[in-house]
Structure 1
Amino acid sequence: MTVRVLLADDHGAIRSGLALILNNAEGIEVVGEAADGATAVQQAHALRPDVVLMDIRMPGMDGIAATRELVAEGLCEVLVLTTFDLDEYVHGALRAGAAGFLLKSVEAARLIEAVKLVAAGEGVLAPQVTRKLIAAFAAGTPQPATKPAGFDDLTDREREVLACLGEGLSNAQIGTRLFIGETTVKTHVSRVLTKLALRSRVQAAIVAQEAGL
């Protein structure tokens, strides 16, 4: 299956570079481009991409607002690609439901891999971002575990899957850990997200940490 990608960035040269990389990758096709968030949302409605590669700082509607709208409507997955790893950008993008967050310094091979992972329902975070999130949890004032609404509705297996998401494991790794197939893992992940009213597995990972799993 070919992964259909929409590029959203206000710099034409960056869009051209990304298009060159992705169109030359096996199994990926760039189907459209947008220079701002509002256009990205319109293009997503018209083109129905699998993944939107989203910049954050754009004129008019920014990438975080566009991500929130795209995810809320269930139009596609969003992979944020930005120059900045500022905390407010990272947290804003993840709260909006982005499936991943990468910096524009990412190597081409890693970008291609990330697009395919996000299209397959996985979560992707730049190593720099992962380290910052872990450090933030570690440095925070110890707090009692907080369980979100819907947590008590999770089955024992779904709680095990949520704990695995908290460790940042992929579907394949979760399957190996729990001795279940990837298709079963995907079903459990979907149920966890639905019961906890979450938009992405990255949000689920944060909830798992906060719940003390």
Structure 2
Amino acid sequence: MSVGRLLLRLTLCASVAGGAFALSGCASQPQPNADDATLERVAYRAEGAPSLTLYTMVNNRTGQGGHTSLMVNASERVIFDPAGSFYADRVPERDDVLYGITPAVEKAYRGSHARSTHHVMVQEVAVTPEQAQRAYELVVSNGRVPGAYCANATASVLKQVPGFEDIKVTFYPVKLADQFEQRPGVKTTRYYENDSADLQEGLARNNAILNGE
């Protein structure tokens, strides 16, 4: 792969600005698909009610969204990270879905994206077991998502979950977050860190933290 193509793959995925794609926050991080045995070994079911959690990575200067992803707590907890950058040695991935999302992994995921240039908007809503399992089935069967389609793919998944049919499909992460905010019972927090603006440094640091546990 040429240097130019590699840099393009590591550029962040999707906000649309001025009618053109402004690549800013998520990247297609090429990883081989994990096998069934690996996914079964790391499967994690979080305590508490089934839930959906929308992550939106927001530029601190412009307020524009750089990436969208969705954590699903159903029969197991996974993160649908379409065209996403996140990787860690102990977090297997298959078709843009991250598995084994323990509390430490979830913290590493947030911490890798939050930096001096971006913060993470975290929107969680409790759902029924049926809604959560439907979302889980949709994300694990969705397949890989091309760059710049992170919000589009996430909105398309949500729209197929009973009770979320009114979600409008969009390429804009913040517009999707605004829609999600209108759901009854949504709890919104914003996560900030003030470390290096280099996403790759954050990924490497959090990978080392997870490896050291």
TM-score (norm. length: structure 1): 0.29
Which is greater in Rg? 1
Query: Which structure carries more helix by proportion?
Result: 1
TM-score (norm. length: structure 2): 0.29
